[in-house]
């Protein structure tokens, strides 16, 4: 089943199925379709530009996650894209014959299909100038699906950068899809596999992750990726206790051009809850909200009019570990074109304060600049240095006011609202591009 099979690239399907946390004899008791297509975790794609992240997402789910006209025209991912994954088993009696997904409605003949799990998939752009967008998405994902093309040397610059970003944002479980295997011969496939192993062993803290040879374009070994997802990305408990905190990763105007004024509906915010829950009818506040040219901060207050999952299914409640879209009664002019990205939403009493000066503690600076074509030495933060910070889905410019050991006080160009303890990705301008150079934790 695995193209270019070797002693190193072993057939994974049977091995993975043996260790699934599903009791195989009971698989036939799973429903044909779930009552609710509610994701158990959010998977984020990662990897170098044009290595096939969006194509793999489409092969898994049947939906191409890049939908913006500019993305389609240029053939690259620019914004955060999303899609929904349903995993099914194809069974003969008590035995799983293969796995399939919502990308295909078919099972082999004389087998029955049963629904196992749902996942949300967040697709990240791979281009170097869009690293901040990738970091914003990485702040709300649970697991990483790293896509590495077999027809290029490994690691490419943004492979390094994206894997470092996943580590910086606290994503501790990943799967590697060794993509484009249809473009190389067996010798190159093995060489590339060894390059991947060496990269992860020597340059990351992940050790050797599961590596699945695939062709997203020709849909080869997609069942193995599904099996690996079931095995290595277990369901996460939806802890609805604690404050209701939603990180806004997208926002848009749902009204079509030319809609009459009396038919207009409120704007939509999209993202994921980090904790707590929100339900239809709740009053929510969005912080920091609108920031005027004079740096005046105006938080927004609205009511949740409806909630939909990434599968398009109406929900009564939004919970953690699932991508959701929340309709509000806000003026859609505020939400159009991702106007509220970087804000945080929740019940007013649950939200963190709005600040324009922060303390970043437990700072870890990389030894080298990651993502450049030529290796460059990194250096500690310096007083009065201008840096870019990614905190949750917020991107903020700041100036280092002071440093001491592994702490730094930073004055922000614009106010933010993010909870204490959130991961902070630190970027500095290198060769006219902002590069990830370290990370820490947010304090006030």
Residues 6+ apart with CB under 8 A from 143: 41, 42, 43, 44, 171, 173, 174, 175, 232, 233
Structure tokens that stand for 365 in this block = 């600076």
CB 196 within 8 A of CB 159: no
pLDDT of 69 higher than 60 = no
Inform me whether the pLDDT recorded for 296 exceeds 80. yes
> What is the predicted pLDDT for the residue at 146?
96
Which residues neighbour 18 within 8 Å (Cβ) at sequence distance 6 or greater? Answer: none
Both tokens assigned to 237: 């408990």
One fold for both 245-350 and 355-443?
yes
Q: What is the pLDDT of residue 375?
A: 76
Cα atoms in the 13 Å half-sphere on the side-chain side of 70: 5
Is 381's pLDDT higher than 90? Answer: yes
Average pLDDT, the chain: 87
171-188 average pLDDT score = 94
Alpha helices in 53-152 (DSSP H): 53-61, 69-74, 131-138
108 versus 173: which is more confidently predicted? 173
* Residue 331 pLDDT: 94
Could you tell me the pLDDT band of residue 96, with boundaries at 50, 70 and 90?
confident
Q: Taking the CA of residue 208 as centre, how many other CA atoms within 13 Å lie in the half-sphere pointing to its CB? A: 10
CATH class of domain segment(s) 13-232: alpha beta
Domain residue ranges in the chain: 13-232, 245-350, 355-443
Average pLDDT over residues 131-156: 92
- Residue 27: what pLDDT? 62
Crossing angle between the packed helical segments 53-61 and 222-232, to the nearest 10 degrees:
90
Mean pLDDT value of segment 89-105: 84
Banded model confidence at residue 73, pLDDT cuts 50, 70, 90: very low
CA 15 to chain centre: 27
Mean pLDDT in residue range 107-113: 87
Residue 246: how many CA atoms within 13 Å on its side-chain side?
A: 30
Spell out the CATH class of 355-443. Answer: mainly beta
Nearest alpha-carbon partner for 256 in 168, 368, 332, 147:
332
Architecture of the structural domain at 245-350: Beta Barrel (2.40)
SS3 assignment for 145-182: EEEEECCCCCCCHHHHHHHHHHHHCCCCCEEEEEECHH
How far apart are alpha carbons 152 and 150 in whole angstroms?
Answer: 6
What does 343-380 look like in DSSP terms, one character per residue? -EEE-GGGSPPPEEEEEEEEEEE-SB-SS-SS--B---
Q: State whether residue 1 is helix, strand or coil.
A: coil
* H or E segment to which residue 194 belongs: helix 186-203
CA 304 vs CA 21, 39, 241, 286, 372: distances in Å: 36, 21, 19, 12, 44
**In this predicted structure, what is the pLDDT of residue 130?**
66
* Mean pLDDT to the nearest integer, 327-337: 94
Residue 107 · residue 90 · CB < 8 Å: yes
Residue 240: pLDDT band by 50, 70, 90 thresholds? confident
Beta-strand relationship, 211-213 and 174-179? parallel
Give 12's DSSP letter.
-
- Confidence check: pLDDT of 41 > 80: yes
pLDDT in tens, 283-295: 999 999 998 888 8
Determine the Cα–Cα distance for residues 101 and 125; give it in Å rounded to an integer. 24
Give the chain's end-to-end CA distance (angstroms, integer).
Answer: 54
DSSP state of 256: P
């Amino acid at each position: 089943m695995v193209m270019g099979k070797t002693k190193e690239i072993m057939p994974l399907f049977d091995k993975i199925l043996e260790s699934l946390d599903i009791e195989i004899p009971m698989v036939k008791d799973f429903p044909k379709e779930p009552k609710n297509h509610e994701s158990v975790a959010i998977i984020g794609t990662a990897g170098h530009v044009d290595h096939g992240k969006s194509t793999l997402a489409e092969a898994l789910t049947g939906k191409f996650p890049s939908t913006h006209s500019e993305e389609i025209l240029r053939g690259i991912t620019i914004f955060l894209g999303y899609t929904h994954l349903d995993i099914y088993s194809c069974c003969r009696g008590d035995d799983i014959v293969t796995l399939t997904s919502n990308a295909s409605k078919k099972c082999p003949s004389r087998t029955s299909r049963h629904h196992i799990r749902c996942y949300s998939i967040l697709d990240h752009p791979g281009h170097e100038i869009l690293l901040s967008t990738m970091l914003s998405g990485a702040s709300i994902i649970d697991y990483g699906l790293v896509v590495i093309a077999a027809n290029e040397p490994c690691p490419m610059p943004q492979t390094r950068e994206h894997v470092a970003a996943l580590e910086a944002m606290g994503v501790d479980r990943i799967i590697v899809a060794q993509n484009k295997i249809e473009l190389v011969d067996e010798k190159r496939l093995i060489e590339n596999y060894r390059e991947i192993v060496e990269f992860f062993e020597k340059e990351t803290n992940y050790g050797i992750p599961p590596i699945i040879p695939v062709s997203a374009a020709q849909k080869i070994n997609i069942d193995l990726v599904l099996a690996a997802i079931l095995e290595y990305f277990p369901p996460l408990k939806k802890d609805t206790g604690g404050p209701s905190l939603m990180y806004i990763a997208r926002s848009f105007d749902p009204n079509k051009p030319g809609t009459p004024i009396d038919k207009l509906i409120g704007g939509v915010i999209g993202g994921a809850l980090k904790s707590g829950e929100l339900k239809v009818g709740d009053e929510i506040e969005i912080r920091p909200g609108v920031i005027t040219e004079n740096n005046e901060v105006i938080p927004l207050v609205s009511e949740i009019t409806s909630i939909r999952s990434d599968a398009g299914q109406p929900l009564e409640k939004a919970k953690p570990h699932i991508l959701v879209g929340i309709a509000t009664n806000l003026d859609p002019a505020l939400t159009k074109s991702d106007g509220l990205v970087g804000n945080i939403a929740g019940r007013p009493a649950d939200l963190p304060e709005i600040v324009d000066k922060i303390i970043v503690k437990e700072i870890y600076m990389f030894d080298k600049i990651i993502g450049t074509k030529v290796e460059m030495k990194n250096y500690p933060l310096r007083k009065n240095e201008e840096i870019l910070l990614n905190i949750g889905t917020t991107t903020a410019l700041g100036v280092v006011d002071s440093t001491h050991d592994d702490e730094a006080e930073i004055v922000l160009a614009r106010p933010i609202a993010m909870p204490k303890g959130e991961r902070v990705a630190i970027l500095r301008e290198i060769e006219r591009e902002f590069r990830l150079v370290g990370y820490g934790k947010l304090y006030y």
